[in-house]
Amino acid sequence: MTDPRARHQELVQDIEAHRHAYYAEDAPTVSDAEYDSLERELRELEARHPELATPESPTQTVGGAVATGFASVAHRERMMSLDNAFSVEDVEAWLARVEKEAGPQRIVCEPKIDGLSISLTYERGELVRGVTRGDGTTGEDVTANVLTIAGLPHRLAGEHVPGLVEIRGEVFLPVAAFEELNAGLLEEGKAPYANPRNTAAGSLRQKDPSVTATRPLAVTAYALGALDWAGTAPDPRASSQHGIYEVLASWGLPVTEHARVVTGVAEVEAYLADLEARRHAMIHEIDGAVLKVEDRAVQGRLGSTSRAPRWAIAYKFAPEEVHTTLLDIRVDVGRTGRVTPYGVMTPVTVAGSTVTYATLHNAHEVARKGVLIGDTVVLRKAGDVIPEIVGPVVAARTGAERAWTMPGECPSCGTPLAEQKEGDKDLRCPNSERCPAQIVDRIAFIGSRGALDVEVLGEKAAHALVESGVLANEAGLFDLSEEDLRRVPLFTYDVDEKLTRRQVEAGVEGRRAGDVSANGLKLLENLAGARSQPLWRVVVSLSIRHVGPTASRALATAFGSMDAIRAASEQDLAAVDGVGSVIAESVLQWFEVPWHAEIVDRWAAAGVRMEDERDESVVRTLEGLTVVATGSLEGFTRDSVKEAIISRGGKAAASVSKNTDYVVVGANAGSKAAKADQLGVPILDEAGFVRLLEVGPAAQAE
């Protein structure tokens, strides 16, 4: 029988990894349905075992926290997520809970736009900041990019303009604009974008606003955050949810024209059915509907959980299904050597986009689904980038179908495939040092936004560097020179530049065939900048199995340098909050491989940052103390609480024990406060915590 605590840890790690792929990389690794299934399992597990439900659990947090090159900005009022309803019965249960607490209510129904949440701050009517949702408390400052969105007013209109207001909305790429953008890319011989949602998110996170300006992004406003009328007469319409839309429109902001105020279950269900029937007629993609209590005073009484309001819910459309032909099953080799089969299908339109490929995960999954090459298959896709082959339509078989067999050798290097450990469902290529596919994937990953964020270093560049023989693996990446790039056709000019007579007379030196191109020079420039990235990003970039951004941050924070991580014992590694035994073993084994150690050594010799600098101005008031923080603190995010403790010499622990020195309790604290009281551990509120940080335990006690 599966140990509940072990399964809980596994689910948390999987969900956080999928969240990072979705929000930080704009490249989901599973379908919405698969992700929702993991979250539902986690909720059910925590319901059966309440001691596992910590404030840090994905069920209690907003999933958009990312670390990019943008500045972090705190929202004046938290941006919350929404709980999901996956059936009409779920909606009925939510309505019943609302009516039980507040009586019959009018409900506002509106489309759930599949885009990127944004918070727009206007001061005295002027747009001064645009911030992504992030973790709900802190987001990314994308103001320069937001200002390029057509149709978004830079100044509010109307009579009732507040002194300060946070306006919440959704940034999206209209479907027609997305199709036009992809058509242009195809004409240029470039790969098309996957879907409107991820294209919109990537566009809004461009470092160069002029690039964002070329993407026809749009925005729809739907809610208010912090609001200060500052002497201006409040608009009375803001007392109701639908009235907020009228207020937003009067200020010149775009709002949805598809919102309706309804009463009772029957009218709600009729709206949902009508909306789903019209989903592909919308200018934007939608993946469901949002239902909100109309009366804002009732909203206040109903309140919220740590992550979502109780007065609203998101109804998710069921994944769409179509039939198509499975033409072939091929395999792909990833950066950790995992060999993944995927289906190649007759292109088919589903959930508003054309699908040709779908993952099949592993050989066991192919056998479980019972699909044959040539089958008519059921394809399911819920508007996201990862479609799913549900299974075959057995009745449509003609006898010409054939079974697929997992190859015994790596398609990239010919090495026999093997399980990493007995019982693994995944087969891997063990030739990680010399397998071209793995090397290319690892190098491309280093350039990704979640790793060292090297803009020019994508899959195409990585392939060119390896194919030309310039890089044998990632060890030599930071030793690249202009001389090296002259051997890579992708990064050189293939013909002499034609100069005008006036340029020649002016002494302009033209580019010759074989000279390093502007893109090549930009790669070298970006690599130079990547050398100063923080330690946790360097750790992520090593592609150590199981070590994602969360574990990398934990390791960097706990040890401070690559040398300290390398020298740590398995016990020391496992003791770090957010690491554990599985990751500790993986880190230890990785550094034991000589060519792995060579990567780190060569990067260090090339000037890559291998140690986080300590701010000596921060007094180490918590030296040797163990502090546990639980619940929501107004002046801190989860990450900043940990940083505040660690930077002052303390240990930011996740659980309360007899070795805990202090427990800091915020709003919606869980069972940790009760356990602290039971063990006699001192409990501090936020003010006491701030005092402790400033003066230490002795002075704080006085």
Worst-scoring range by mean pLDDT, 229-238, 288-297, 411-420?
A: 229-238
CA-to-CA distance for 227 and 122, rounded, in angstroms?
10
pTM of the entire predicted model = 0.55
pLDDT tens-digit readout, 626-642: 888 888 888 888 767 87
Indicate the pLDDT class of residue 495, thresholds 50, 70 and 90. low
Mean of pLDDT over the chain: 86
In this structure, whether the domain defined by 320-419 belongs to CATH 3.30.70.141 is answered with: no
**For residue 300, what are the contacts with CB-CB under 8 A and spacing of at least 6?**
none
Task: Determine how β-strand 376-381 pairs with β-strand 353-359.
Answer: unpaired
Please name the amino acid found at residue 281.
Answer: A
pLDDT tens-digit readout, 245-278: 999 999 999 999 999 999 999 999 999 999 988 8
Query: What integer pLDDT is reported at residue 65 of this predicted model?
Result: 47
Residue 371 confidence (pLDDT) above 70:
yes
Report the chain's terminal Cα–Cα distance, integer Å: 52
- The tokens for 465 are 């560097």
Sequential DSSP letters for 462-497: HHHHHHTTS-SSGGGGGG--HHHHTT-GGGB-SSPP
pLDDT tens-digit readout, 94-122: 999 999 999 999 999 999 998 899 999 99
Tell me the range of 165-174, 179-188, 299-308 where mean pLDDT is highest.
165-174
pLDDT tens-digit readout, 345-362: 999 887 767 889 998 988
**Token pair 């030196």: residue:** 509
Worst-scoring range by mean pLDDT, 197-201, 349-353, 609-613?
A: 349-353
Span 452-480, mean pLDDT? 93
**Token pair 């249960």: residue:** 93
Q: Do 130 and 142 contact (CB within 8 A), yes or no? A: yes
175 or 386, which is more confident: 175
Residue 2 confidence (pLDDT) above 70:
no
Residue 63 confidence (pLDDT) above 70:
no
pLDDT tens-digit readout, 381-392: 754 457 888 888
For domain 4-52, give the CATH superfamily.
Helix hairpin bin (1.10.287.610)
Percent of the chain with pLDDT over 90: 45
Span 160-168, mean pLDDT? 93
Burial 19-31 (b: 16+ CB within 10 A, else e): bbbbbbbbbbbbb
Which residues partner with 419 through β-bridges? 427
Percent of the chain with pLDDT over 70: 89
Q: 436-605 is classed in which CATH architecture?
A: Orthogonal Bundle (1.10)
Query: What integer pLDDT is reported at residue 586 of this predicted model?
Result: 92
To the nearest 10°, the Cα dihedral for 305, 309, 310, 313?
-130
Which residues partner with 108 through β-bridges? 261, 292
Query: What integer pLDDT is reported at residue 8 of this predicted model?
Result: 85
Q: Do 58 and 83 contact (CB within 8 A), yes or no? A: no
Query: What integer pLDDT is reported at residue 95 of this predicted model?
Result: 94
Indicate the pLDDT class of residue 318, thresholds 50, 70 and 90. confident
Residue 623 confidence (pLDDT) above 90:
no
Span 587-606, mean pLDDT? 95
Burial 505-523 (b: 16+ CB within 10 A, else e): eeeeeeeeeebbbeebeeb
In this structure, whether the domain defined by 72-316 belongs to CATH 3.20.20.140 is answered with: no
The helix (run of H) or strand (run of E) holding residue 45 is helix 32-48
Q: Do 623 and 649 contact (CB within 8 A), yes or no? A: yes
Indicate the pLDDT class of residue 656, thresholds 50, 70 and 90. confident
In 3D, which of 543, 548, 550, 547 has the Cα closest to residue 595? 543
- The tokens for 131 are 């911030």
Q: Do 621 and 694 contact (CB within 8 A), yes or no? A: yes
**Domain residue limits, the chain:** 4-52, 72-316, 320-419, 436-605, 626-701
- The SS3 assignment for 380 reads strand
Indicate the pLDDT class of residue 513, thresholds 50, 70 and 90. low
Query: What integer pLDDT is reported at residue 266 of this predicted model?
Result: 92
Sequential DSSP letters for 386-437: --EEEEE-GGG--S--B-----SB-TTT-PBPEESSTT-SSEE-S-TTT-HH
Q: Which residues are catalytically annotated?
A: 112
CA-to-CA distance for 341 and 362, rounded, in angstroms?
6
pLDDT tens-digit readout, 207-227: 888 888 888 899 999 999 999
In this structure, whether the domain defined by 626-701 belongs to CATH 3.40.50.10190 is answered with: yes
Please name the amino acid found at residue 607.
Answer: G
CA-to-CA distance for 21 and 492, rounded, in angstroms?
33
- The tokens for 356 are 């040709």
Query: What integer pLDDT is reported at residue 189 of this predicted model?
Result: 62
Worst-scoring range by mean pLDDT, 254-263, 358-367, 477-486, 669-678?
A: 669-678
Worst-scoring range by mean pLDDT, 291-300, 468-477, 489-498, 676-685?
A: 489-498
pLDDT tens-digit readout, 570-583: 988 988 877 888 89
CA 554 to chain centre: 18
- The tokens for 673 are 């406060």
CA angle 21-24-28, nearest 5°? Answer: 25
Query: What integer pLDDT is reported at residue 66 of this predicted model?
Result: 46
CA 302 to chain centre: 30
Sequential DSSP letters for 184-240: HHHHTTPPPPS-HHHHHHHHHT-SSHHHHHTS--EEEEEEEEEEE-TTSPPPGGGGB
Query: What integer pLDDT is reported at residue 492 of this predicted model?
Result: 87
Residue 67 confidence (pLDDT) above 50:
no
237 or 189, which is more confident: 237
- Is the Cα dihedral 185, 189, 190, 196 positive or negative? positive
Task: Determine how β-strand 320-333 pairs with β-strand 338-350.
Answer: antiparallel
